[in-house]
Amino acid sequence: GMNKDHAKRLWARAGIPTAPHELVAAPADVSQSVDRIGVPCVIKPIDSGSSIDVFICKTLADATRRCHEVLDRHGAVMVEKFIRGVEITVGILEEKPLSPIRITTSREFFDYQAKYVGSEAQHHFDLNLPAAVVSQLQEIARRAHETLGCRDLSRVDLIVDQQMHPCVLEINTMPGFTPKSLLPEMAAHDGIPFSRLVDRLVCRAYARGSGRVIRQAV
């Protein structure tokens, strides 16, 4: 699976904006790491998806407690600076960015509850952002995908702060893939229906594995 700490280090080395963080692998390091990042901060496992065991902490005591909890369950945890702003996700298909989606939710962030339970999350193609920022988001997402050596598809989650500065939060190297999932929704918006999306990816994988190019369905 994806190691979020390693991904963020590679992004930082490539000059891709991402929130400051500390990796904690031992209980003895918790307090020092939390103090260095400060609050509010985000506590998350380095290798878990669907926003499971992700907490936004507003006090040092809460951050320390949550860090110990997540460390007990996952073996390693990230303490990340919390950035308030607009949540954006950008799908990458065949190394090119799709139209971004702005995510709004009644919850504090796009957590497990908002993703999978009820209807707390709404998806908007109208980002309410300047065109230059939208282009910047797409290019940053493309570079985040490329820097990690991803191929075919991924989905990059970003946040745009109050100064209009984009920042990469995470990448999903195997994003949800039902007709109602975010990446297929972006592809459909860009004129690629679900059946053609599946066909394109299957043909691409087959050609890579066999050395033969096969014709895609129209």
Residue 24 sits in a domain whose CATH number is 3.30.1490.20
Q: Does 213 reside within a domain?
A: no
Residue 63 φ then ψ, to 5°: -60, -40
User: Is 49 within 8 Å of 174 (Cβ atoms)?
Assistant: no
Q: Are residues 103 and 171 in the same domain?
A: yes
- Quote the CA–CA distance of 198 and 142 in Å, as a whole number: 21
Q: Which of 60, 81, 102 is the last residue of a domain?
A: 81
pLDDT value of residue 214 = 60
Q: Are residues 106 and 77 in the same domain?
A: no
Percentage of residues in the chain with pLDDT exceeding 90? 77
Cα-Cα-Cα-Cα dihedral sign, residues 103, 188, 173, 11 = negative
pLDDT, tens digit, 9 for 90 and up, residues 107-155: 554 444 444 455 568 999 999 999 999 999 999 999 999 999 999 999 9
Q: Are residues 103 and 166 in the same domain?
A: yes
Q: Are residues 56 and 39 in the same domain?
A: yes
Residue of higher predicted confidence among 210 and 86? 86
What is the H or E stretch that residue 60 is in? Answer: helix 60-74
Residue 141's SS3 state is: helix
pLDDT, tens digit, 9 for 90 and up, residues 39-81: 999 999 988 765 678 999 999 999 999 999 999 888 899 999 9
Nearest C-alpha neighbor of 92 from the set 158, 153, 171: 153
pLDDT, tens digit, 9 for 90 and up, residues 178-193: 888 999 999 999 999 9
pTM to 2 decimals? 0.88
Q: Which domain holds residue 59?
A: 20-81
How do 121-124 and 77-81 pair as beta strands? Answer: unpaired
Please state, as a whole number, how many other Cβ atoms lie within 10 Å of the Cβ of residue 132: 9
Residue recorded with tokens 């490329």: 146
- Which amino acid is it at 203? C
- Quote the CA–CA distance of 216 and 218 in Å, as a whole number: 6
End-to-end CA separation in angstroms for the chain: 34
Residues written for the chain: 218
- Quote the CA–CA distance of 114 and 109 in Å, as a whole number: 8
Q: Are residues 45 and 119 in the same domain?
A: no
**How many domains in the chain?**
2
Q: Are residues 75 and 118 in the same domain?
A: no
Q: Does 190 reside within a domain?
A: no
Q: What is the CATH number of the domain that holds 173?
A: 3.30.470.20
Q: Are residues 37 and 118 in the same domain?
A: no
